Chain A
Amino acid sequence: MFLINCPYCGERDQSEFVSGGEAHIARPKQPTELNDDQWAEFLFMRKNIKGVQFERWNHVHGCRKWFNVARDTSNDKIEKIYKMGEQPPKL
């Protein structure tokens, strides 16, 4: 339970948002050339880090926009919020 500072709406309760999981997993540019291992990696394998993890979040009960969050999963502390398309911050 924590607050998230939506870059478009400001600080709101986490229950207004939905987590979209690990960020920066790019959709394959040429899907037909992927083998099964590469598909498994893209679809299922996750870092699931205990520590600072980069995630996508959606303000589903607000502006409904997506953005990225760098969050420490060991204490739910948010380190940085940045927009979609931006590079992950160096922390």
Chain B
Amino acid sequence: MKNKYSIFSLIKNAFSNHENWQRAWRDPEPKKEYDAVIVGGGGHGLATAYYLAKKHNLKNIAVVEKGWIGGGNTGRNTTIIRSNYLWDASAGLYDHALKIWEGLSQELNYNVMFSQRGVMNLAHNLQDVRDLKRRTHANRLNGIDAVWLETDEVKKFCPIINTSQDIRYPVLGGTLQKRAGTARHDAVAWGYARGADEMGVDIIQNCEVKGIKRIGDTVEGLETTKGFIKTKKIGVVAAGHSSVIANMAGLKLPLESKPLQALVSEPVKPIIDTVVMSNAVHAYVSQSDKGELVIGAGTDSYVSYTQKGSFNIVEDTLKAILELYPIFSRMKMLRQWGGIVDICPDASPIISKTSIKGLYFNCGWGTGGFKATPGSGDLFAHTIANDEPHKLNAAFNINRFVSGDLVDEHGAAAVAH
């Protein structure tokens, strides 16, 4: 049983110099056999294990992670959470996640620092205006809060934006989702890990999957660097490396893995109290609680697993940032990094069974998976436990690439790819 985190436990532990906190999760060796094994210890994978244990009463579960938990895209994204997607299927999926976010810190007894500071998307040309207005209407029909802002309202909401009509890509308006915001990315992985561990889930780090053993069309288990693990159900949540795992099982996925970059500045006093995204000029920015500007860039155009990305991509993003926010012209950037994102042709994820019995994939989140972490875990757990999708992720099956029933969200994905 885990001790409850509270103001009182904080005070109590202060008296022993914070040296006697209970371990948040164990460090077990893998057992010979599990009822289900999740491949990938990021936010989505840990959330999947958490909900499998909590809602579907599966206790004999393991999460295997190649590196350390939350060290992949969970720790590399720009932490933006929103649900203002165009199509009904996506609205259902992302708003399901947003509703869980709203109570997540309490549910996990772990402060994920969810901050509903609003996300504003800017329009820079007439087509942007039409597209964003259409998306606002679609959102409202789906019960998602969204409002259209004229240029002067954009300026009022975020005064540091340059709304001069003389710049290369003038601001012609924008949309605002007030329930949207940010969260502390690491805390999400750690909170789910702690919660899952409490219910008996084995979180096995530094354990890389080397092969998937199957007999006919049924999975038998996993070959890992810590030996063979027998299991009847494998849920793969490997983000950029999903295709690598799929290849081990002889499957092909409609994915391309590309580097996506982000960067942070030196910390400064509060200057921007919301998240502003601009799809057309490709700049998005928010400010972390430490005071750093958190800036997201675009993807490279080519497949790569290098977790680096090209300099010209960062350069383009910073050009756009400086035109929209001249006040940042003398800021220094502290760190830049890349993550590998797995992109589907329709910029929507796959949460699905496969043609192999007992093998499930949760992938294709591309540039925007973080926001969906709790919903993705919940729905993937449902899919694995029941061998059937939940109605909210039925549209995100792998078969849509055969039937042609795609969920095209390139417009709402907000990152050019």
Chain A positions within 8 Å of B, measured between CB atoms, are 1, 13-15, 18-19, 21, 36-37, 39-41, 43-50, 53, 55, 73-76
Contact = CB atoms under 8 A, between A and B. Distances in A.
B170 to A, nearest CB: 27
A13 B310 CA distance: 11
Given A41-B252, A50-B305, 9 more contacts: A1-B311, A14-B310, A15-B312, A18-B301, A19-B302, A21-B303, A44-B345, A45-B401, A74-B306
A5 to B, nearest CB: 16
Residue among B255, B305, B308 with most chain A CB within 10 A? B305
Contacts of B305: 50, 73-74
B241 interface: yes
A20 B308 CA distance: 20
Nearest to A69: B302
A79 to B, nearest CB: 14
B254 interface: yes
A37 B303 contact: no
B83 interface: no
A19 B311 contact: no
A46 B345 CA distance: 10
B99 to A, nearest CB: 31
Interface string B303-319: 11110111110000000
Contact of A76 (B255, B257, B301, B304): B304
B310 A55 contact: no
A45 B253 contact: yes
A74 B244 CA distance: 12
Main secondary structure of the interface of A (DSSP, over half): mixed
A14 B256 CA distance: 19
A53 B302 CA distance: 11
Interface residues of B, number: 27
A1 B252 contact: no
A63 to B, nearest CB: 18
A21 B306 contact: no
Nearest to B254: A44
B402 interface: yes
A10 to B, nearest CB: 19
B247 interface: yes
B177 interface: no
Contacts of A43: 345, 401
Given A15-B312, A36-B402, A37-B402, A48 B257 contact: yes
Contact of A1 (B241, B310, B402): B310
A14 B304 CA distance: 13
Contacts of B304: 73, 76
30 contacts: A1-B309, A1-B311, A15-B310, A15-B312, A19-B301, A19-B302, A21-B256, A21-B303, A40-B254, A40-B401, A40-B402, A43-B345, A44-B254, A44-B401, A45-B253, A46-B253, A46-B255, A47-B243, A47-B247, A48-B243, A48-B256, A48-B342, A49-B303, A55-B302, A73-B305, A73-B306, A74-B306, A76-B304, A76-B306, A76-B308
A3 to B, nearest CB: 12
A75 B345 contact: no
Interface in B380-417: 401-404
Given A19-B302, A36-B402, A40-B402, A1 B308 contact: yes
Contacts of B310: 1, 14-15
A46 B402 contact: no
Contacts of A76: 304, 306, 308
Interface string B269-308: 0000000000000000000000000000000011111101
